[in-house]
Chain A
Amino acid sequence: MMAAEKPELSRGELLKKLRAEHAQTVERTQELLKDQKRIQRDICSFIRETPKSVPEIAKEIGLPANQVLWYIASFRKYGIVVEDGMCEDYPLYRKAEEN
């Protein structure tokens, strides 16, 4: 519908060309991805065995609690963590079982 004329390029060549065109966006987003992977690794490592609350995770990994909650909400949505009980007024989260 949108592409008026498809270039005669292989998939690899096409992606290379697009990366060049969107170089700044790709560079910025690659940095974002690195950060996200590191934070996911840190959080999941901390809650692999024992469920923890958002403030506990924030204290452990040195990230503001509101940012940790954003990541936890994301991980929960995509099945990476699950809610597992409460501690006072805080839900606890642990790493989901891997299929």
Chain B
Amino acid sequence: MNNVKVDALVIGGGIAGMQAALDLGDQGYQVALVEKEPSIGGKMITLSKVFPTLDCCSCITTPKMSAVAHHPNIQMFTYCEVESVDQQENGFDVSVLQKPRYVNADTCTGCRLCEYACPITVPSSFDRGLGSYRTARVPFSTAVPQIAVLDIENCILCGKCEKVCPVGAIDFTQQPETFSIDTTSIVLATGFELTDLDAKNEYGAGELPNVIDPLMMERFLAPTGPYGRVLRPGDGMEPMTIAYVQCAGSRDETLGIEYCSRTCCMYAIKQSMLISGALPLAEVTIYYMDIRTFGKGYEQFYQNAKAMGVEFVRGKVAKITEDENHNPVVRVERTEEGDVVERTFDLVVLSLGMVAGDPLSKFGLTPAEDGYIKIPSVNASPCETRRPGIFVTGTAGGPMDIVDSIVTASAAASAASAYIRSKTQVGIEEREVAHV
């Protein structure tokens, strides 16, 4: 693979990375976007709807995915991982590993015949392991690019995919390949991970089949979800009583995560409203320490949820066990009533917190105390890292919601643009022409 020379490299193809790439591309800069998964879209493409508008996530994300793929100034590199970032005189030399798809990306049409022919079924990471896909597959229906990938670690090399491929795109000879990207600036949009479902023994240590994480519930609520409806994963029952346990992975010294993840109150409220739509007879209870609805329209959203009948109970859940039918039993100290009660539910969602995504060492950056990228001047320059020319956006910099991720993406693109101009003078002529 040939080496690539660009003005800006965006690392991470989630909503923040896509927005930063589009903003820079629209300004005339040459942009490379590197994504570790076989498709761009990030976590947002897996979500059902956004708060507080309840707009469809796919309806927002897929046009941006398509815009990135078709933008004349953006080169997209999926299924690639950044290995190292070396400082050069006027920018960076970034080493990137292209993982083998075992499919020729230039000829694959995304017809999925390989997927239908493949005999092996494996848990789908897109569906948080609750759904499935085949060893040879297009990652999900709206994946960009629509190119199949073959998971060689779960392959018996039967060759059925190869036989049915109408364009001969299956290529078992592919090997990992390294190439370099020469760039003036870098925008880090490496996103977040949830805290582990099994982190707390008192919440079942991940062993209780009907205690799930919020991204699982997002998949249940999405039209493309694994069951096509909301069912509890333990036995396929429609849950009629559902509890949310807030601060299950944040504001918790025992986990070493003392910060508030900022999104959990709102996504729990959003999901409870969507559950009320999907399962009108279901009762939803949210156990919380504080409700933090700080954004535009968020407080009204919270009040709407209360008006719809969602029950909010102030108190800290101490323990979750299960009865003989795998129904979760929640033990909670209700602070307003001053008592301790146990209540049985059909399904419990742990409102897990956010932690930093990719390790920072390969970018030559050190984390702050919270594990996220250290931003030296967070109020004055919230997208600047300690390395000039490397900017941060979205949840790579700290917990934030989709609205803030998009805002910081545009901010990071703007900061990167100013930096590129200072180094290369690119874009000044166009700006002057525009003013004339």
Interface residue ranges, A against B (CB under 8 Å): 1-4, 6-7, 11, 14-15, 18-19, 22, 25-26, 29-30, 32-33, 36-37, 53-55, 58, 65-66, 68-70, 72-74, 76-78, 83, 86, 89-91
Contacts and interface: CB of A to CB of B under 8 A. Distances in A.
Looking at A7, A53, A78, A89, the one whose CB has the most chain B CB atoms below 10 A away is: A89
Give the 7 A-B residue pairs with the shortest CB-CB distance, closest first: A54-B236, A2-B174, A65-B235, A74-B132, A3-B173, A69-B236, A73-B226
Given A1-B104, A18-B157, A65-B234, A70 B130 contact: yes
A22 B120 contact: no
A53 B235 CA distance: 9
Contacts of A69: 227, 231, 233-236
A89 B237 contact: yes
Interface string B94-108: 000010110011100
A53 B152 CA distance: 34
- Say what secondary structure dominates the interface of chain B: loop
Contacts of A76: 227-228
B314 to A, nearest CB: 30
- Say what secondary structure dominates the interface of chain A: helix
Contact of B238 (A7, A32, A33, A89): A89
Interface residues of B, number: 45
Contacts of A54: 235-237
B64 interface: no
Given A2-B177, A73-B131, A90-B238, A15 B157 contact: yes
Contact of B120 (A6, A33, A70): A33
A59 B78 CA distance: 43
B155 interface: yes
Given A22-B155, A22-B157, A33-B119, A90 B228 contact: no
Contacts of A53: 236
A51 to B, nearest CB: 13
Contacts of B72: none
Given A66-B209, A73-B130, A19 B159 contact: no
B173 A65 contact: no
Given A25-B155, A74-B131, A78-B116, 7 more contacts: A3-B174, A4-B175, A32-B120, A55-B236, A70-B130, A74-B132, A90-B237
B363 interface: no
Nearest to B100: A2
B226 A36 contact: no
Looking at B119, B157, B174, B238, the one whose CB has the most chain A CB atoms below 10 A away is: B157
A90 B236 contact: yes
Contacts of B130: 70, 73
Contacts of B238: 86, 89-91
B88 to A, nearest CB: 26
A30 B174 contact: no
Interface in B110-142: 116, 119-121, 123, 130-135
B213 to A, nearest CB: 15
A74 B115 CA distance: 13
